Every structure is written in structure tokens, then in C-alpha cells.
Amino acid sequence: MIGITGANGQLGQLVIRGLLSAVPASQIVGLVRRPAEAQALHAMGVEVRMGDYDRPDTLKAALRGVDKLLLISAVQPGERLRQHRAVIDAAKQSGVTSIAYTSMLRADTSSMILAREHRETEAYLKQSGLEYVILRNGWYLENHTGLVGAAIANGAVIGSAGEGRFASATRADYAAAAVKVLSSAGHANQTYELAGDRAFSMTEFAAEISAQTAKHIGYTDLPPQDYAATLSTFGLPPMIIEVVIDADLKAQAGELDSTSSTLSELIGRKTTTLGEAIGAALRP
Ligand SMILES: NC(=O)c1ccc[n+]([C@@H]2O[C@H](COP(=O)([O-])OP(=O)(O)OC[C@H]3O[C@@H](n4cnc5c(N)ncnc54)[C@H](OP(=O)(O)O)[C@@H]3O)[C@@H](O)[C@H]2O)c1
């Protein structure tokens, strides 16, 4: 049986949808924090169990009969290592043999704020003695395409990334890689650096929006304190603003760029391009 944590989330649902073409629904169990919100998983015909990272008792019960587990990294910075450890501990106690974990690009060397908990989770997973697969996902293309509406409204993309390049890929592409790893052999104790085939700068991102909308959209690079002040007017919490600014500054230094083709090799096709993702975001 294959278990997926965070299964009500966007990545979790994409993974389960993809897995259904490789294994029977009876072999899939979605672990969720809120079973009452699992209508989409029920519609896919998979079993749903409560598995809350903050309630280890639910995790142990939810993992009964699961051999392979996809641990989708938790959401809240600062809480994640504790939450991931709880899942790994419960998996060991419940007889899970293999855990695939969604980490981040070059988590071992990255200086991004977000990297620390991923690095520590990877280390904890490796010393657990379980078979592991580390899926070091790059930035989501949706982090960028989520800004297309605001860019059109304001006539500009803003950020503090300078000409830093982002080798981003869609959630669907990362989900397809997870499906491959969960449904085929030969991935034991591998670490995969996963990224989009073609990196782009924020200037290129703005230019692609311009090209597809026939409106002039430029990229305005802001000093970090100005970008932080703008983000705070959107009501973002200070911790999230710190993470966003940190990511942009580290992107300037190349930390979200990559020439790895492992993602397209794993999924057996090219990754979704920036142009395709913007096109999808613009469709009504
Ligand atoms: N690479 C990137 O650019 C990037 C960007 C964003 C996130 N991420 C990482 O990738 C992960 C998956 O992304 P996503 O887009 O699927 O995120 P998402 O849609 O926000 O899904 C996260 C899921 O985690 C669940 N969750 C939160 N706290 C939990 C807890 N205590 N116990 C059990 N489940 C809990 C949420 O449950 P509810 O449905 O009950 O809220 C939600 O279903 C994120 O969690 C984050 O670690 C990466």
C-alpha cells in the first residue's frame, strides 16, 4: 500500500491522480489533517485516513499496512522539522519500509532560510534506517504565475531577485516525478535534484506576460526593504515576507537556478515551459 501525507493539498492531489494510472485505487491511502475536507480524494476512490503531523497518535494508526510513504513536506516554517520527525518515527513504528520526501533544491548546501528544516529532515530520514528517496523540488512555477494578475493590474512584476534565474517547474511536473518514484523500482536511497528544463529571470517572466497579453509589463527590481514594505501592504505575515525576500536575494546568487535534467528524465517528457504556464494562468 502507498501512503501520501498532506493528501488534501495541491501537490498531494496531483500525486494521487497520477498514481491512479499506475496502481489500483485500493493500493492508495491519503493521509489528511482534516478528513471532512477530503471530498476530492473520495471522488478519486482512494482510502482517506486522518494523519495530522501534530498528532503522532493519528499518524501511527494512519500508516497501518503502508509500505511506501510519500512525506509531503509540511507548511509552516519553524514547525516543520518536528512535524516531519513525527511522521518518520510513526512510519518506523508502523512497518513502513520506504519514505520519499519532498525536499528542496540543493537542500544540503543551500543558504536559503527554507533549506535548514529540509536539510535536517533529510538527515533524520537517512539515519532512520528506512529506505529513502529524496525529491529535491525546485521552485514552483505557480509561485510566479500566481503573480500574473497583479502584474497585469500594476503594469509591472516586482521583486528583489535582480537578474537571478529560476529553474522552476509546475507542481504537476514535480507530482509526476513523485508518481514515478512511488510506482517503479530502482530509486532506493537516491537523491534527485528536480528543476525545470529552462530557467528564466524576472525580466524574462515579465516579457512573457507582455508577449501573451500585448500589454507592456516590465520588471521592477526593488531594494529588499521596499519590497518587504510592499508585501506587508498585502497583509502577508512578517515570517512569510522574510522567506520571500530571502528567496529572491538567494535567487540573485543563483540558488534557485539549476541545469539538472533529472526531472524531465524521470517524467519522460520536457518540463512545462514558462510560456505554457503563463498561458494556462491567463485562461479564464
Ligand atoms: N517548491 C516550492 O516552491 C514550494 C512552494 C510552496 C510549498 N512548498 C512545499 O511543498 C509542500 C506541498 O505543496 P502544496 O502546494 O501541496 O501545499 P498545500 O496545497 O498548501 O498543501 C499542504 C497540505 O499540508 C497539509 N498540512 C498542513 N499542516 C498539516 C498537519 N499538521 N498535518 C497534516 N497535514 C498538514 C495541509 O492540510 P489542510 O488541507 O488541512 O490545510 C495541506 O493539505 C508544502 O507543504 C511546502 O512544504 C514548496
Query: Could you report the per-residue pLDDT of 114-150, keeping only the tens digit for each?
Result: 999 999 999 999 999 999 999 999 999 999 999 999 9
pLDDT above 90 covers a percentage of the chain that reads: 99
**Residue among 5, 29, 33, 57 whose CB has most ligand 1 atoms within 8 A, to mutate:** 33
Query: Could you report the per-residue pLDDT of 38-48, keeping only the tens digit for each?
Result: 999 999 999 99
Task: Tell me the CA–centroid distance for residue 76 and ligand 1, in Å.
Answer: 8
**Residue among 11, 57, 246 whose CB has most ligand 1 atoms within 8 A, to mutate:** 11
Query: Could you report the per-residue pLDDT of 189-204, keeping only the tens digit for each?
Result: 999 999 999 999 999 9
What is the distance between the alpha carbons of residues 243 and 247, in angstroms, rounded to a whole number? 6
pLDDT above 70 covers a percentage of the chain that reads: 100
**CA geometry: angle 182, 146, 160, nearest 5 deg:** 105
**How far lies 152's CA from each of 15, 65, 81, 210, in Å?**
31, 49, 38, 9
Q: C-alpha grid cell for residue 95?
A: 512497518
Task: Tell me the CA–centroid distance for residue 7 and ligand 1, in Å.
Answer: 9
List ligand 1's pocket residues with C-beta within 6 A.
Answer: 6, 8-12, 33-34, 37, 52-54, 72-75, 83, 102, 137, 139-140, 143, 171
Q: Domains plus CATH for the chain?
A: 2-137 (3.40.50.720), 138-169+195-258+272-284 (3.90.25.10)
Q: Is the pTM of this model over 0.85?
A: yes
